[in-house]
Amino acid sequence: MTELELKYGCNPNQKPARIFMEEGELPLKVLNGRPGYINFMDALNSWQLVKALKKATGLPAAASFKHVSPAGAALGLPLTDVERHIYFAPEGELSPIACAYIRARGADRLCSFGDWAALSDVCDGDTARFLAAEVSDGIIAPGYTDEALAILKGKRKGGYNVVEIDPGYTPSPIERRNIFGITFEQGYNDLDIREEMLQNVVTENKELSQQAKNDMLLSLITLKYTQSNSVCYVKNGMTIGVGAGQQSRIHCTRLAGNKADIWWLRQHPKVLGLQFVDNIRRPDRDNAIDIYISDEHDDVLAEGVWQNTFKVKPEVLTSEEKAAWIARMSGVTVGSDAFFPFGDNVERARKSGVQYIAQPGGSIRDDQVIATADKYGMVMAFTGIRLFHH
């Protein structure tokens, strides 16, 4: 048996703590830092996600995890000029894996504060340099270039957590966990999410482009590693809103939809035109943008807080302007880890530009849900597969 002693468990009072293998060697190595219990939970969940994404799409993939659910996940597609601006991406050519992580973190920069990063491919210098400027707890990847490792070892005064995973590792077909001293056992969820699951299109509109299929796969794979109940909005190869751990399906859909709206509002001309004071820290800028977009905007500006953040007092982004901008969003995909029980989920999704839906189906009100999707010309696929994760 091999093991790695940890400082403590989920909380400082939970000692002793360790990770171990009852047979064989641990399939990972800590190259720097001292990851904790939650760090490893994030690392192992996020690694499974990006490995599955790479397998399903053939593209490099990355994820940004917080508290065992993804704040964002993305494929390694080129960044637009607007994305470079709102994600703090450096100028010049960037590697696909760097683009994947920048987009994954950019999905919800507020929630990615202090994240755990996961990469499907070897971490290179481009990715490490971007990570070095962000507030992050650690990273897992199948390897690191010498340049990347040197950069990451210099982060957080030398204490940044760097974990290398064996990409060929396959877990036992049976997994166990203890709750309240009682052992639970189940088969490992080795479900292979692939395009064949999207063939049962139940709506009148059945046009699915390859990009839409990839976005559906991205949503479903993200949901497989998100605390349930969960709903995920995706656009152009990246999540733009993840709603996790809600007891009600509609609350998941609203939460994720609100996050998608914020992602889109960050691209509003007034937001792009904000003039920040020199040398403002990235988290401070993210917080300021979030407040500027939110309903707290007027109060904050009235209190004069803007003087510490902006060079020039920004114009108000009115409710009417926000509504008009959100109405322009289109081509969005939404996935759900279990069936939509009512058409209200489809109605809420439509408000955030959803055109494509992937969900298991199986509700007694499937006809109502399909009719709601047909009303808006959406494309909806029933996968027949539930993706609960706890």
| Marked catalytic residue, from 51, 54, 66, 322 | 66
Residue 299's CB: how many other CB atoms inside 10 A? 11
Give the chain's count of helices (H) and strands (E). Answer: 13, 15
What does the DSSP 8-state code read for residue 338? Answer: S
User: Residues 6 or more apart from 300 whose CB is under 8 A from it?
Assistant: 291, 292, 306
Which string of DSSP letters, residue by residue, matches 9-66?
Answer: SSSTTS-SEEEEESSS--SEEEEES---HHHHHHHHHHHHHHHHHHHHHSS-EEEEEE
Strand partners, 335: 232, 358
Give the Cα separation of 158 and 254 in Å (integer). Answer: 40
Q: Is 229 a catalytic residue?
A: yes
Query: Radius of gyration over alpha carbons of the chain, in Å?
Result: 21
Pairing of strands 69-75, 61-66: antiparallel
For residues 356 and 216, the answer to whether their CB atoms sit within 8 Å is yes
Q: List all residues 6 or more positions away from 234 whose beta carbon is below 8 Å from its beta carbon.
A: 215, 216, 218, 219, 222, 240, 332, 333, 334, 335
Please give the Cα distance from 313 to 16 (Å, whole number). 52
Q: Is-catalytic flag, 270?
A: no
Give me the long-range contacts of 137-145 (CB less than 8 A, separation at least 24).
137/39, 137/42, 137/161, 138/33, 138/35, 138/39, 138/42, 138/43, 138/162, 138/163, 139/163, 140/28, 140/43, 140/44, 140/46, 140/47, 140/116, 140/164, 140/165, 141/165, 142/166, 142/167, 144/31
Among candidate residues 67, 153, 251, 270, the one labeled active-site is: 67
DSSP structure string for 201-239:
B-SS-----HHHHHHHHHHHHHHHTSPSSEEEEEETTEE
Q: Which residue among 229, 236, 259, 389 is the active-site one?
A: 229
67: annotated active-site residue: yes
Residues forming the active site? 66-67, 229, 390
